[in-house]
A and B are shown apart, each in its own frame.
Chain A
Amino acid sequence: MKYLFYPGCSAESSALEYGTSTLAVLEALGAEVEELKDWTCCGASVAATLSDLLGVVLPARNLALAEQAGNGREMLTVCSACYTNFRRTAAAIAAQPHLLDTINQALEVEGLTYHGTVQTRHLMDVLANDFDLETIAARVQRPLAGLTVAPYYGCQTVRPYSPFDDDQRPTSMLGILEALGATVHRHHREASCCGTSLLTTKPDVGYQMVGAILEACEPADCIVTVCPMCHMNLDSYQDKVSQVVGHPLHIPILFLPQLMGLAFGLPESALMFKRHVVPVGPVLAQLPGS
């Protein structure tokens, strides 16, 4: 398995632990991963709000780089917003025959041309579908026995451009979590919205949305996610959210590759639990042999 890696802005800054643990886990599974050189922001939720063309040109700049460097490799992203932008751009190019010409007129100033051939994959898709569960289970050195985990996919991981799972009742994580030895806590907020930028612009509304997810996950020992935005919102605001919902909510939020790395016996330098706002210590203490 060979991938070209587009980390996105979060995975090299606020969610560095996500990018780092992703690379460590994929290496442990035998995948070859190379970071895309000279990548720039995909435009987040902002570029398309500034202009229609900018909303496809910023993702296309990276797709053009990936096409050039990829040698047929698929582009792997860990961020659900980046994933949506790349796939939205691909869908727009497929639907509007002249769009690619216009995009290329813009990319000219960067010395790039895009031919529309790159496939973008989300880490969730790659982990669930490119490796069989026996391979994952065989890599486990420290089974997560006794640990109850609540999967949380968020929105854009599974909709509207994801071909790999149900867009409202996703199940991609289940097999992996069980292969790690964990007990899964199913709940009705697995594909709900974390509030994204509302936590900054309209915090009162955002806190309610985070609160609903944390409450649904309360019976679990931790929540596992595959999106840096979801992680930031669920991990950073639990004190404020507790005030809003009127009772204390305190639950560690792990990225899926961090949890896998934990079961694989990877070192703290690859998992970076110390970067979390809500301490992961109680989860670690619960594992057998701690």
Chain B
Amino acid sequence: MTTSEVINLTTVKRDPTFVDSLTPAGRLLSRCIQCGTCTASCPSAPAMDFTPRQMWRLAQLGFQDQVLHSKAIWLCSLCYTCHVRCPRGIPLTETIVKLKQLALQERISEWRESTAFYRAFGDVMRHYGRTKEIEFMVRYFLATNPLSALGYAGLGLTLLRRGKVHLEVPRLGGEGRLDRLFERVAELEGQQ
């Protein structure tokens, strides 16, 4: 965020209960003293729209839309450096996982290159029970930008030649290996 992008506290919609949905940190986020250790530790911070420190402040104040639409949450690579360094002991990395989950549930349309990754991976995992790299990448590129797959064509051929990935005929349809478990989990979560 540049200094010119000021968020007007009185006009922007806020949800003070937002922080409660952010497990596992939740109310622990109120402990955040804005020291910036998370931002200083984050290898992706320079590419973020909001830095981690700014994002936690927005979350504390209930700026749900700003946080869930941010690019920042999709740049977290789960390295857990902020998590282990936070002097207030807030479980930050796993709270970012929750932010990603909420953004996926809200079907937020920005950052499709990231959201499609999680959906495609989830579909393949559910269907096969294990990860099939080629099918996953095909689904991912079809869901995002099929032309961008060309940028990976050279590497793809190298990996095929080295036996790192295998060409398999995708067998879509039919009962998936983990369908019943996924359905049961959805049912149980619906009951909560």
Residues of A within 8 A of B (CB): 9-10, 12-14, 16, 40-41, 43-55, 57-58, 61, 88, 102, 105-110, 155-156, 159-160, 167-168, 192-193, 195-198, 200-202, 204-205, 209, 212, 236-237, 274-277
- Is there contact, CB below 8 Å, between B181 and A106? yes
In the bound complex, residues from chain A placing their C-beta under 8 Å from that of B131 are 9-10, 13, 41, 44
Chain A CB within 10 A, most for which of B79, B117, B180, B186: B79
A230 and B29 alpha carbons, distance in the complex (Å) = 31
Selected contact of A159 from candidates B80, B122, B133, CB within 8 Å: B80
Instruction: Find B43's partner among A106, A192, A274 (CB 8 Å cutoff).
Output: A192
A133 to B100, CA, bound (A): 43
In the complex formed, the residue of A with least CB distance to B113 is A201
Candidates B23, B77, B80, B181; contact of A57 at CB < 8 Å: B181
Contact with A along B97-127 (1 / 0, CB 8 A): 1101100100000000110011001100100
Query: What is the bound-complex CA distance between A284 and B100, given in angstroms?
Result: 44
In the bound complex, how far is the Cα of B133 from the Cα of A200, in angstroms?
Answer: 12
With a 10 A CB-CB cut-off, give which of A108, A156, A201, A212 has the most chain B CB atoms: A201
Q: From residue 65 to 110 of chain B, which have CB atoms closer than 8 A to chain A?
A: 74-75, 77-81, 83-85, 93-94, 97-98, 100-101, 104
Contact of B188 among A102, A193, A197 (CB under 8 A): A102
Among the listed A12, A108, A159, which residue makes an inter-chain contact with B83, where contact means beta carbons less than 8 Å apart?
A159
A35 CB to nearest chain B CB (Å): 13
Which B residues are within 8 Å of any A CB, using their own CB? Answer: 23, 43-44, 47, 74-75, 77-81, 83-85, 93-94, 97-98, 100-101, 104, 113-114, 117-118, 121-122, 125, 129-133, 137, 140, 155, 158-159, 162-166, 177-178, 180-186, 188-189
Assess A47 versus B117: contact at CB under 8 Å? Given A40-B178, A160-B93, A200-B140.
no
Complex CA gap A17/B141 in Å reads: 27
The complex places the Cα of A150 from the Cα of B173 at a distance, in Å, of 46
Tell me if A47 and B125 are in contact (CB < 8 A): yes
The one of B122, B133, B163 that contacts A46, using a Cβ cutoff of 8 Å: B122
Minimal Cβ-Cβ distance residue in A for B131: A9
Among residues of B, the one whose C-beta sits closest to the C-beta of A189 is B43
From A41, A49, A110, A195, give the contact of B101 (CB < 8 A): A49
Contact B162 A44 (CB under 8 A): no
* Chain B hits for A106, CB < 8 A: 181, 184-185, 188
